[in-house]
Amino acid sequence: MKNSRFPFMARFLEFTKKVLSAVALAASLATSAAAAPNIVIVIADDMGWGDVGFHGSEIRTPELDRLAAGGVRFERFYTYALCSPTRAALMTGRSGINTGMLGPSNPWYPRGLPVDEKLMPEYFREAGYRTHALGKWHLGPNELQYHPMNHGFESFYGHLHGYLNHELHTLFGRVDWQRDGQTVHETGNATDLVIAEAVRLIEERDPDAPFLLHVALDAPHAPLQAPEDAIAEYAHVDDERRRIYSAMMTEMDRGIARITAALEEARIAENTLLIFFSDNGGSPNLGADNGPLRGGKGSPFEGGTRAPAFMYWPTVLPAGAVFEERMTVTDLLPTLLAAADADLHASKPIDGRDFWPAIADGAQAPGGPAVLSHYGRGVVQHAYFRDDWKLVRAANDQGGTDDLLFDIRNDPYEQHDLAAAHPDIFRQLVAELDAIPKAEPLSLNARLPDMTAPGSPMAWEPDNRPPGGMPYAESGPVPYPEGNYP
């Protein structure tokens, strides 16, 4: 009634309300933009270069394709040729020849990633982040000092070893499934359980702190297991291994869609940086396809080390961008810290480089050489990069190694060894590689079990023996698997 008697005052009050609302909205948006982003790292296990839709695969991966198209796709992203070295480099920002982590942290091997290494969650906790690890750890299973919650993660749900029966959660017949150091006996596919935990952590997050969510999935690593209805979707695929592998890929893709849906539902997707990659190349004899790339898992050639990868952050990164420069998993620690505007207070020299300005703003990518080293077939093998040249030191059939030289930008399929055509460059790269100081390798297994026997990492069929014995979380060191080696 009063406002009708004083129309000017009514209009002034209405205008003031609109201005204050606009100011509040702008302040809210500015605060959101300035807030530290959540970081979600999703790692596939043993996925081939050619096994995603955005690389032309017949396997259905619609969510991965959507995210890759909506963010920055990396066409020259390199990992190590094996799982533990890749995970160690991700966590430390340091090369495997400096940490000593050159091979898989096998169940019977007592050592793990050195405890004096500072890991990614420790940096992010210093920046005020909540830190959670899910799925596969594989950086030292047999002593508590190597476990993720003693390396900066405030929670852990998953398993310690490099692989497991996806349904029984066992390795060599013993349960390897835990929550925060305590064995849990649960039913369900390991990938589904890890995805559900990731969704729960997003829904129950601390609203006053950003989070680092490390989601290390087991799919599509052997043994090859997937729900029957998922396998039925690929009934047209004649090869049984490829059929089950394809189902595992599609089920993983659906799980990742549940994570992104949870981020959207929580209204935090716009302030969340998600990165996806595979830990190494795929194994063709276990259903994977590395496309035109040479070699596969365990090889220093491109098929073993060049991984499908992308970053997705809808309000910051340009959609549909393709990043063509060489980048390695070792670079992710400084790059992600830069994206979060967090400090890199390193306790040891960091080998990785900060690529964030190049990714986000188109600045020139950092240069310099890179080396990816791993132990396999009884020798240490290397992929050494400088400029557009790649020196490969690969195992041969005589128990030694051969050195090969490739112009990797112009010969990405490594068809032409140029060592004889460019002897000066070849000798220079060999000398540079040989001159790099190399730490004592942590995991040179003189005796490997039969790698295709039931329960072994290259066996495609699951080891379905009933769970027995003490679970790994409580067992301590594991003896060499009796009767499971030549």
3-state secondary structure string across 202-227: HHCCCCCCCEEEEEECCCCCCCCCCC
Q: Can 37-367 and 372-435 be said to share one CATH topology? A: no
The pLDDT confidence band at residue 448, using thresholds 50, 70 and 90, is low
Measured between alpha carbons, how far apart are the two ends of the chain, in Å? Answer: 95
| Active-site option among 55, 132, 138, 382 | 138
pLDDT digits (tens, 9 = 90+) for 341-397: 999 999 899 999 999 999 999 999 999 999 999 998 889 999 999 999 999 999 999
Residue linked to tokens 């995805």: 195
User: Residue 218: its pLDDT value, please?
Assistant: 97
**Whether 151 is catalytic:** no
Write down the domain spans for the chain. Answer: 37-367, 372-435
**Whether 169 is catalytic:** no
Q: Which residue has the higher pLDDT, 425 or 442?
A: 425
Has residue 34 got a pLDDT over 80? no
Lowest mean pLDDT among 15-19, 54-58, 359-363: 15-19
Q: Rg of the chain over CA atoms, in angstroms?
A: 24
Q: What is the CATH number of domain 372-435?
A: 3.30.1120.10
The pLDDT confidence band at residue 470, using thresholds 50, 70 and 90, is confident
Average pLDDT on 394-415 reads 97
User: Residue 478: its pLDDT value, please?
Assistant: 61
Angle CA 252–339–253, to nearest 5: 10
Q: pTM of the entire structure? A: 0.91
Go through the chain and tell me how many residues it has. 486
Using a 10 angstrom Cβ sphere, with 0-12 exposed, 13-18 middle and 19 or more buried, the burial of residue 329 is buried
Task: Measure the CA–CA gap between 63 and 127, rounded to whole angstroms.
Answer: 31
| Active-site option among 55, 83, 221, 382 | 83
Instruction: Find out whether 104 and 343 touch, Cβ atoms under 8 Å.
Output: no
Has residue 417 got a pLDDT over 60? yes
Please state the CATH superfamily assignment of the domain spanning residues 37-367 in this structure. Answer: Alkaline Phosphatase, subunit A (3.40.720.10)
User: Residue 474: its pLDDT value, please?
Assistant: 77
The pLDDT confidence band at residue 481, using thresholds 50, 70 and 90, is low
